[in-house]
Structure 1
Amino acid sequence: MNKERLIPLIVATALFMENMDSTVISTSLPAIAADIGTSPLTLKLAITSYLLSLAVFIPASGWTADRFGPRMVFSLAVGVFMAGSIGCALSSSVTGFVIARIVQGLGGAMMTPVGRLVLLRSIDKSALVNAMAWVTVPALVGPVLGPPLGGFITTYLTWHWIFLINIPIGLVGIVMALRYIDPIKSEDPERFDLYGLLLAGVGLGGISFGLSVAGLNLLPWTVVIALVGIGSISMTLYVIHARRTASPVLDFALLRLPTMRASIIGGFLFRLGIGSLPFLLPLLLQVGFGLTPLNSGLVTFASAAGAMGMKTLAARIIRTFGFRSIMTVNAAVSSVFLAACGLFTIQTPLLLIMILLVVGGFFRSLQFTAINTLAYAEVDPARMSRATTLVSVNQQLAVSAGVAVGAFCVESTMWFHHATELNASYFAPAFIVVSVISTISAYFFYEMPADAGHQVSGRGVIVIPSPERDAEPEETAATETANARDQRLG
């Protein structure tokens, strides 16, 4: 197997482990809580503590990878995640379980951005779309595979296996990484910005944790607002600090690049809407329609089939139409399928629901592949580690915001109807709101230059004829088009 396929699969293995673990635990919380002698509501601290750990440690990932090498940091991150998984399986108290989840978060905070950095430094930009298509799949498959897998393991085995299945997966990932990933290290690592890390950690932790607990009803809204407020103030102080340092942990100067700016702002809005789906849809199916967690998970798994079907077509579609056209139109199309979930009723045939989820999964996966690839199109190698850190932080905040917005919309609808019990009719406004937010992202993709991301899409690339044959007419036309564009640009 060639490098363009093998390295994305190595990175995807670790990301799949993280994404699946983040969702599989939700299904099994009641069983875990009963076993260690606490309530499911209290144990939801395990979810929020993991998200908090991610938010705090992600900003340090770029510098760590430059200092010690992305291959070594990625392998160690997988090992730390495995250690946290073992800790979760052996936990007999809430305190021990939460601590183990924090350790998992530390590993996950390094796995995601450093895994992408491994990919970016190992794969040529011309092959990046195909590579990102493979890496994107875990982010889509994990959240939908988690609920049915968690339901199956909890029903037929014990909840401990939810975490123990990470061990063989992680070991394979470490062995493959050490064997096939080149030990690339930055020759001149930058000075570590400790003060910036503290400000960013408090800021991101406060915002992410506040938004996360807002969706779980763990704390009063006054406390949630205080957390988000403190986080926002700390992030404001960080932005002021970042302008005065040469090596910020979060480099917002990257937003001057049109493709990075569109990927961050447009990607945040798109992910916010789509990120609410793994939260809203299982609730609708289980609470609203009365499906079991296992049956609900099997229905939502349909969107993973669409995601898998996309991966072989993404590069060809983007190469044919270009990033701007595809991302502008596809953002709207994906949002339509998201809004369609609000039309589901208990009378809607499950087959129709699954068909819509399959098709919607295809378009969402195409959009995620495009967003993840476009972000790095104009980034020079020296700033690639900063770029992966910034993108990972943006994704984390978007998912947390998506859950918070979805939960807030459902609760607001119940309040408006003076309802005390949740039913299926209260989900439709939430799906409409988050789909509108996702649609707004199309504006930021449309604002990009017409040839945005041509460095990685392969569209309009100059083809140099080989000495053995003359250029084909199509290649000559592509060359003339590219030359004309370059002349216009400069």
Structure 2
Amino acid sequence: MISSRQRSVALLVAGCFFMENLDGTIVVTAAPRIAADLNVSAASVGLVITAYLITLAVLIPLSGWLAGRFGNRAVFFAAIAVFTLASVLCAASPNLNVLVGARVLQGIGGAMMVPVGRLTVLAGTPKVDLLKLMSYIVWPGLVAPVIAPLAGGLITTYANWRWIFLINVPLGAVALVAAVRLLPASPRGDVAPLDWKGVGLTCAGLGGLTYTAHLVSTSTSSWTAIVVLGVLSALVLAGTARYLLHAPSPVVDLRTLRIRSLRRSLSGLCPFWLTVGAVPFLLPLLFEDVFGWGAVKAGAVVLTVFVGNIGIKPATTFLLNRYGFRRNLICASAAVAASVAVAGLFTATTPILTVLAVTVLSGAARSLGLTSYNALSFSEVPEDQMRHANSLAATVQQLFAGLGVAAATVALRVGAPIGSAVFGSRAPATPYTIAFLLLALVALLATAQAFRLPRDIGDAARQPHRPPTTDRTLSRPAPSSLDASVQRRGNLPR
């Protein structure tokens, strides 16, 4: 049974998750205004986004060691404080260099805030309560990329771009007060010395791959530079994996992948997150560039994905308990693939109700899928391995969420030549149609992986539905102890 304190802590972590993800995406909308105000090019402002994402990617693996060394409560509290202070510095930045530095500081806070907060929620939680707690934590991360286009459009249209960061101040203050009141003091753990070599290799590989994704998402980047940096980053990550598998006390223990639920969950989560992260980037572009909608209207329509997220939330725990992880992941990933493919068929004359129906369905499938993946990840993880499993899962999620925009950009770029060569069409909507169809195929990889899941996987986190029995013998009252003793003595009539 989940206590009110556990629920409150989960909601606190959910709020922090929302802040972190919103700040990772909302700046995209405000980039032109920031560039004009700071007298720099719009392309230069891309560094503000990249610096934040790279810092998140390279420092999340450290979160587990810091939590073990200094305690969950201390690290979580410090992370919220750093994130809030950095938000103030971002808003007060007089030039681009200061803004980039403040964003790096903000990334440091974000890298510790959510993984350590989630670890606090997971610590000591019975497996059967994972579903409900994960449903609280997951959906804000889905909402942030969806609400960002509308929020960014409204703020930059009717206020100053600096309010994008200032809105974190009251949220951070509330989170700090809640953290002090809700989180119990956690003792410092007896952990091994920090694996500096592993930290260096992990930072180099993840940082290089994240920067490669940034280069892909910009139209001025050289494909030669992208390929070279991408290959080098992949080689570094391969060497890092080999090192981490053999190091006695690695910063991230890849040996936790021997746990069936964690390994199977992450293998499906990667293509799922890639698609989920790409769609909120592509839809507003389609609506604005091809349909000619304004930023506010496009953002409002994309926001209906949030309706699906919230609408399915009360049913996710029931669905997982009733039908298990395998069936729900098959349905969720297939529904995401179908909704993405249908989105590629939208035209300017498509009825708005049809568009809204597809976006709501997409939101419901996203919410069910990510809740399932997150709960499944930890359903079979022993308590003593939870710290490493949480760090690994958080790193993979952040990496593939960040790669979603790059995947959308690549799909959009190849959409034009494919549409011209295969369909002979040079219509403005053709690249988007091809891009959405390619992303739907990526989502189907998650569906294929879900079909291969064992039927009993994750059952430790479920409370399976048991229909009421109709056996008359089971409905009879149990004999009293006196009746039993009399029967043993043979005193009852036959």
Instruction: After the TM superposition, list the runs of 4 or more consecutive aligned residues in structure 1 that deviate by more than 3 angstroms.
Output: 415-419, 470-473
Q: What is the Cα deviation at residue 416 of structure 1?
A: 4.7
| RMSD between superposed Cα atoms in Å | 2.1
- Of 436, 441, 445 in structure 2, the residue corresponding to residue 440 of structure 1 is 445
Which residue in 1 is equivalent to 2:283?
281
Distance 1:460 1:454, change over 3 A: farther
**Are the aligned partners of 2:419 and 2:431 in contact in 1 as well (CA < 8 Å)?**
no
1:120-142 Cα offsets, whole Å, 9 max, x none, are 01533221111111111111111
> What TM-score do you get using the length of structure 1 for normalisation?
0.91
Matched, 1:296 2:308: no
Aligned to 1:431: 436
Contact 1:144-1:304 at 8 Å conserved across structures? yes
Shift of 1:425: 2.5
Change in CA separation of 1:444 and 1:251 when aligned onto 2, cut-off 3 Å? farther
Structure 1 match to 2:21: 19
Q: Distance in 1 between matches of 2:249 and 2:341?
A: 42
Deviations 1:357-400 (A, max 9, x none): 11221111000000011100111111111111111111122123
Which residue of structure 2 aligns with residue 315 of structure 1? 317
- Once the two structures are TM-superposed, the CA of residue 414 in structure 1 deviates from its matched residue by 2.4
Q: 2:153 aligned with 1:148, yes or no?
A: no
Taking structure 1 as reference, are residues 434 and 418 closer, same or farther at Cα in structure 2, changes over 3 Å only?
closer
List gaps (5 residues or longer) in structure 2: 467-473, 478-494
In the alignment, the residues of structure 2 paired with residue 414 and residue 405 of structure 1 have an alpha-carbon distance, to the nearest angstrom, of 15
Instruction: Determine the C-alpha separation between the residues in 2 that align with 1:381 and 1:18.
Output: 27
2:85 equivalent in structure 1: 83
Question: Counterpart of 1:396?
Answer: 398
For residues 213 and 443 of structure 1, do their structure 2 counterparts lie closer, same or farther at Cα, with a shift above 3 Å needed? Answer: same
Q: Report the CA distance shift for 1:194/1:285 in structure 2 as closer, same or farther (over 3 A).
A: same
Matched with 1:347 is: 349
Residues 1:367 and 2:383 aligned together: no
The correspondence for 2:268, drawn from 266, 276, 287, is 266
Distance of aligned partners of 1:383 and 1:186 in 2 relative to their CA distance in 1, 3 Å threshold = farther
Letter in 1 for 2:279: L
1:70-125 deviations in Å (ceiling 9; x for gaps): 12111211111112211111112111111111111111111221121011015332
What is the Cα deviation at residue 350 of structure 1? 2.2
Deviation at 1:417, TM superposition (A): 6.0
Residue 43 (structure 2) aligns with: 41
- The yes-or-no answer on 1:458 pairing with 2:460 is no
Residue pair 1:335, 1:436 contacting (<8 A) in 2 also: yes
Structure 1 residue 433 displacement after superposition: 0.8
Distance 1:249 1:472 in 2: 58
DSSP-derived class of the 1:38 partner: coil
Residue 240 (1) aligns with residue 242 (2):
yes
1:159-206 per-residue CA deviation (whole Å, 9 max, x = no partner) reads: 111100100101111111121122234532232111001001100111
Map of 1:412 onto structure 2: 414
In structure 1, distance between residues paired with 2:444 and 2:23: 29
Equivalent position of 2:186 in the other structure: 184
Question: How far apart, in 2, do the equivalents of 1:389 and 1:447 lie?
Answer: 25
Contact 2:411 2:434 in 1 (8 A): yes
Provide, for residues 300-335 of structure 1, a one-character-per-residue CA deviation record: whole Å limited to 9, x for no partner.
Answer: 000001101122111100000011121123211221
1:451: how far off? 1.2
Structure 2 equivalent of residue 113 of structure 1: 115
Q: CA deviation at 1:18?
A: 1.1
Match of 2:344, SS state, is helix
Aligned length: 465
Q: Supply the distance in 2 between the matched residues of 1:406 and 1:204 (Cα, whole angstroms).
A: 20
Percent identity of paired positions between Structure 1 and Structure 2 = 35
Matched to 1:438, the amino acid is A
Partner of 2:481: none
Larger Rg: 1 or 2?
Answer: 2
Q: What is the deviation of 1:402? A: 2.3
Post-superposition shift, 1:351? 2.5
Match of 2:138 among 129, 136, 139: 136
Q: Contact between 1:48 and 1:213, CA under 8 Å: does it hold in 2? A: no
Amino acid aligned to 1:382: D
